[in-house]
Chains A and B, each alone.
Chain A
């Protein structure tokens, strides 16, 4: 029996060695040390009635099992305009997927499945895109050229997405710095994946073709928090136009991360901004770990001398009865063993919290060779029972030495070659450091391999559309419609004295105009209105469920009522609780519900002597203010809406 390598210990040692700092305790200094760098690609659906290049409705969705017909496609790589094949395209071709699209007549026409050339671009979408481009001070192009961006994963039935640059450069302000933008493009949204198992991938086409813009920043965010802040800004800015969709999936971001000496890795489709910090943190340290692995390997062997040995194992010679192996035998799969020279200690090297280098290989086997997880065993697993029992046979069959590591995987003949190539390719890449990849972010903050990062070679001019001129006149007209800059809005909030903790809610929900309007019509001060939204309403949304449709304009109605009835605005906080639950209730009824009665100053004052007397009888407190607070508490609900609480306090103080 072979010596068993202490995998768990190695994992923790290597984690220490690369200097991994826990997310919660990481500081700006830690990020500076590893050279954290991050850029964003923010996708935002535009609020149009119809899709970008056909006349299907936008934002009408179908359920997974709701479809009228299915279409199957396979994708082949094609040349870019400059005569090159794109790396991703070639990889996707190797994976040989059967891609099935589920179509619903209501949401999909012959255009989405690439059976009809594009119709004219949706002008509403184009105008919104230009509007947002102008908001971030971009150079708007003179002529929009639609380009085909290849995607062979099947997310677009044509095999390419139609996209075009609206503007380049531009900038957005963060709290302490300015982030520059590379470009904004207008493009079609992709199909939504339903499943991806083995060689079968299934999509639905409802979202496909919806107009969206992609805003790309330079990699200038130097901490995970800055990345989230920039993303938040871009989202608020888009929403401030009132011309974009909100809600789940309407805005998605790809986050590009690298460490010093690392490579740009794209974390794709991050659904929530709050996930960005942890994902980018872990990705950056993953790169640090991969660079360490590279250093360790290069010390041992030259990549050109590194050769992988592969043999097929004989089930009859195995003594162990691992579940996976039994299952593989039952399914008539071949059991393949691979020797990785000098990889001892590498497979169990730390890469991300709870993940090690062997995960990098397993994830690629799933994506490229279509081997479903769990798809391999290795000599460096936390509990390598299999290798306890059959380690000697495997090592002998592979002619392995003690400094090597081994992988066992099971496959049918069809995927065998690609699987073997995939392992070899990933191990060779370990000598280079960090592979160019797009990765998928998981809710636990780690990432998995999604595909090879595509480059400029996947771009090809769209021969089905003519260039679209963007004349000066159009730009000037759109300039007239620009909403306030988010940066300016933040300044305004500061001037109003609205606390920063309230900003997100207000900007996210595009409430600045509403607050201005309420103030204009009712004279209630900005800060009060802002806080009512950001604190009171925000809290209610988390606690209660309205019985009908609650809209922000109900709040405007409420303030109008308060003004007409000559009530004090403070009652709005009590009314809102009822209004939110019963949005269709009349305001008079809400007052009844609150048991509100009109009482003038004198009337309120008249309650005080009796209360004061009562307090003296029951008082046990030695606090100087105890009497004042108690009386205020007793009288408060009677006063709200009738007089300002500050005035009430004065009266109480004078009278006791």
Chain B
């Protein structure tokens, strides 16, 4: 019964029941403010119980205050069928084969009445219906592994994803695309970089900053770019492929361990930190920026290393941090801590005792920097030296999130802290680089005349 009144509760539900009006009824509602006619829409769960929502014939939605309603009458019934038109994805023997794994996110999405927000939708047919250009690039198959927002991705999902990718590679796929929500895409990219090693084919993560239900969405172009990178590029690494500028112009291929989401809403949110991206990509070409990447191979010798220790945490240091923060991690049985320290990698003296207690308990503690750019340099000041003496290990220029993922992965396969340290400090996929090029740090400052002149010339 409840299903007849999708999402309505309390007063609104009572009223619908009283006048025998269900969701999707074409109804006429008399109120003290006048008469309204339209289709009764479902109500989002978190909205109040004081209004009933109608879609009017003009396509507009309006909410009607329950208190003002004097009568309701059902005159018809029309249930919406929201479906992206499905068309069979064409096959061509000459084209490379690409597998698209879906994890959720807004790369393809539709309206969800439960929350009033968008939820993911996904199948090769739907994708072809929405982005027919994909068929010019490859033969595509899809597999929906999870349907979660990116904040709900975690170790179990990383492991499943890595195994599935391994299987596809063994079966001869030419490239992998992973559709992913953008919020934690760089965490998953790092996890895959460690769990899937020596891949002979590109593994490209992609998402969108504007959901695909809006005409100006970046979803289609990102997906086209990512698919092209997976199908055609010579770069056999785990990468993130997202907009370069906010304009619909080109995408960037970022190394999975050096990339980070840097703006809550911009399309050009992903940036390579401390280095340059590997390449730029548009509909017609892939242009390499770096040349020291791993090349595509014919063999299928991929290594899948699906390990993860979940008892690892990041501690973002702030002035006046109290030792109980660290102590609570110790008490809760954590095995690894990544600290995002200030400046070159510092924390205050007050937490020294807690750090000593942690290292004494055999917890692996690694230091990264909250400045994001630059290396940890713990020899420069006494604080750094003290901390190292207590057992904190500097993680060079590993990004805090990457260090977190790597520590989880390392502790998942080794208990011995020396072994863990060896894993942590041996670069696998540019998570630690030997040098930081000068163009690896570019945060432009607006307002400066030469910068403004440059901004006017390029497309943002």
Which stretch from A67-75, A261-269, A593-601, A620-628 is at the chain B interface?
Answer: A67-75
Given contacts A145-B60, A463-B116, contact A69 B82 (CB under 8 A): no
Closest to B216 in A: A159
Given contacts A67-B456, A456-B58, contact A73 B214 (CB under 8 A): no
A89 cross-chain contacts in B, Cβ below 8 A: 215
Given contacts A148-B214, A182-B58, A183-B60, contact A74 B248 (CB under 8 A): yes
In the complex the two chains form, is A72's CB within 8 Å of B247's CB?
yes
A339 within 8 A of B: no
A461 within 8 A of B: yes
Given A165-B56, A456-B59, 19 extra CB contacts under 8 A: A72-B248, A81-B55, A81-B80, A82-B55, A83-B81, A113-B246, A114-B216, A115-B209, A139-B33, A142-B50, A142-B51, A143-B50, A150-B215, A168-B62, A183-B56, A459-B59, A463-B111, A469-B50, A469-B65
Interface centre among B34, B48, B84, B265 (most CB of A within 10 A): B34
- Complex partner residue of A168 from B36, B65, B211, B265, CB under 8 angstroms: B36
Given contacts A71-B247, A110-B266, A141-B62, contact A168 B220 (CB under 8 A): no
Interface size on B, residues (CB 8 A): 62
B160 cross-chain contacts in A, Cβ below 8 A: none
B64 within 8 A of A: yes
Closest to A93 in B: B215
A270 within 8 A of B: no
A115 cross-chain contacts in B, Cβ below 8 A: 209, 246, 263, 265-267
B422 within 8 A of A: no
Within 8 A of B (CB), among A489-540: none
B210 within 8 A of A: yes
A467 cross-chain contacts in B, Cβ below 8 A: 47, 51, 53, 63
The contact string, 1 if C-beta is below 8 Å from chain A, for chain B 201-214, is: 00000000111111
Interface residues of B (CB under 8 A from A): 31, 33-36, 47-48, 50-51, 53, 55-68, 80-85, 110-111, 116-118, 209-217, 220-221, 245-249, 263-267, 446, 452, 455-456, 459-460
A441 within 8 A of B: no
Interface size on A, residues (CB 8 A): 69
Within 8 A of B (CB), among A143-174: 143-145, 147-150, 152, 157-160, 163-165, 167-169
Bound state CA distance, A578 and B47, in angstroms?
A: 62
- Chain A to chain B contacts (Cβ below 8 Å), 24 pairs: A67-B456, A71-B459, A74-B221, A76-B217, A78-B213, A78-B214, A81-B80, A81-B111, A83-B80, A139-B34, A142-B62, A143-B65, A149-B59, A150-B215, A157-B216, A158-B216, A459-B59, A459-B60, A459-B61, A461-B116, A466-B47, A467-B53, A469-B51, A475-B33
Given contacts A76-B220, A158-B214, contact A145 B248 (CB under 8 A): no
Bound state CA distance, A587 and B102, in angstroms?
A: 79
A77 within 8 A of B: yes
B212 cross-chain contacts in A, Cβ below 8 A: 78
B68 cross-chain contacts in A, Cβ below 8 A: 142, 472
In the complex the two chains form, is B215's CB within 8 Å of A145's CB?
no
In the complex the two chains form, is A143's CB within 8 Å of B62's CB?
yes
A110 cross-chain contacts in B, Cβ below 8 A: 265-266
A209: shortest Cβ distance to chain B, in Å? 14
State the 6 A-B residue pairs at the shortest beta-carbon distance, nearest first: A139-B34, A143-B63, A159-B215, A142-B65, A459-B59, A456-B59
In the complex the two chains form, is A68's CB within 8 Å of B215's CB?
no
In the complex the two chains form, is A76's CB within 8 Å of B215's CB?
yes
A50 within 8 A of B: no
A289 within 8 A of B: no
Bound state CA distance, A113 and B246, in angstroms?
A: 9
The contact string, 1 if C-beta is below 8 Å from chain B, for chain A 106-138, is: 000010011111000000000000000000001
In the complex the two chains form, is A145's CB within 8 Å of B266's CB?
no
Given contacts A79-B82, A81-B80, A145-B53, contact A165 B62 (CB under 8 A): yes
- Complex partner residue of A73 from B65, B213, B247, CB under 8 angstroms: B247
A422 within 8 A of B: no
In the complex the two chains form, is B460's CB within 8 Å of A70's CB?
yes
In the complex the two chains form, is B64's CB within 8 Å of A463's CB?
no
A414: shortest Cβ distance to chain B, in Å? 14
B128: shortest Cβ distance to chain A, in Å? 14
Closest to B67 in A: A472
